[in-house]
Amino acid sequence: MPYQTVLVGTDGSESSFAAVTSAARLAVACKARLVIACAYSPMRGTDLDVAKDRLGAEAYQVVGSAPAEATLRVARDKARNEGAEDVRT
């Protein structure tokens, strides 16, 4: 029985994007749904204050879910470039 769902995780690294590509190819071959996941831990307290102070206008890159969402968009695009049609993030 072929896979119905393929799950792959990414952290935005090149090696994790390679895993996304492989998972997308498997999903296409099996006509399966591809689910791409990215976990993050929101910064709080002193860590957040230090990041905002050091990064200034670029702090949005480490605050909230924006970095994880950006990683998922890139991963989704990579998967679609491999022919995956049913991609969920």
Q: In angstroms, how far apart are the furthest CA atoms of the chain?
A: 54
| Domain total in the chain | 1
DSSP secondary structure of 35-88: EEE-------HHHHHHHHHHHGGGGGGTSTTHHHHHHHHHHHHHHHHTT--SEE
**Tens digits of residue pLDDT in 15-74:** 999 999 999 999 999 999 999 999 877 777 888 888 888 888 777 666 677 788 999 999
CATH code for the domain in which residue 80 is found: 3.40.50.620
pTM: 0.78
List the domain range (segments joined by +) for residue 19: 5-88
Distance CA 25, CA 8 (A): 12
- Which range, of 1-5, 15-19, 64-68, 82-86, averages the lowest pLDDT? 64-68
